[in-house]
Amino acid sequence: MVPVILEMRKRGLEPVLCTTAQHREMLDQMLEGFSLKPDFDLSLMKPGQSLNGLSSAIFSEIDKVFDKVDPEVVLVQGDTTTANIIAQAAFHRQIKVAHIEAGLRTYQKYSPFPEEINRQLISRLANWHFTPTTKATQNLLKEGVHDKTILQTGNTVVDALGLISGKIDQNELASRLNLNFTKFQKLILVTGHRRENFGEGMEELFKALLELARDKKNLIVFPVHLNPEIKLTVEKTLQNISNIRLLPPVSYPELIFLLKNCDLVISDSGGIQEEAPTFKKPVLVTRDFTERAEAVEAGFSILTGANSENIINQALKLLGTPPDLENIENPFGDGKAAKRIVDFLESHAF
């Protein structure tokens, strides 16, 4: 969303930024990296909060924001519960909704959970749909969404990479993260946070990482999500392995630094599947299904599921014989998505 906000400000528009403050530290790091401050910070997140409890709180609090702001359009991005509930709340008040990163689908109700149903529901409510790829556009057309309401823009995550990657100071970030790459031949970046991988899925991932860590030429860097269910189990299993570095959640520049320098990514993140192609990095996706099939088709991503044997076999293959990805373009955009979105909004919404 950041590139869209910055593009709107550049044109003299007045975007109002509202957050629910999921994972406070991670949110604040991201906003600070782009010198942004929320106009409304609902600060709704509580430890152990259920999806229903969160949804109820969002419905209650967003009405107060709408009363103060009376927006002409509400922009929601992606497939979070926040995006879904705020889209519904706007619809209840007959406020127009524009969905950024629309049309992604696995058509598997519980994979990813709850994101797959969140984004399908938003598509039923939205007035305008900004799709990142042809496949996403086709998904919406097949579902009966009118073509005049769809604009294929590319994904704004590629815009965000362009805003920040040129500002990265390699030495400063290596020092900040206390990483010395010279002692290792391969760097493996790992992330994990999807609800469907809690429990057995995480155990399978840990089993694979312990096996890959037996080769002391590999350095495994794992920025650990703040969700207590993830954090406690990661630390319990992986904390004392010499070539596994557990980091607190990293800032966006730090994440880009790690992506630039790694040899392999192991992740269940949708965003990383879109970011890694910019840096020509292969990703093992620890899920059974992905809504970013374009990355698989282009050769950047491989689906392993949360299966330790699959993860180990594919990781060893990619580390031993790195794929040639240099001449393959990022299938998720050219870095001009925000401009296309704001052009459209200026002619249709304001």
Q: What amino acid positions are annotated as catalytic residues?
A: 79, 101, 115, 193, 195, 225
Half-sphere exposure for 107 (CA within 13 Å, toward CB): 6
Q: CB count, 10 Å around CB of 54?
A: 19
Q: Are 164 and 350 in contact (CB under 8 A)?
A: no
Residue 146, C-beta contacts closer than 8 angstroms, at least 6 positions apart: none
Say how far apart CA 159 and CA 88 lie, in whole Å. 27
- Write phi, then psi, for 45 (nearest 5 degrees): -80, 135
CB 205 within 8 A of CB 188: no
DSSP string across 92-121? HTT-EEEEET-------TTTTTTHHHHHHH
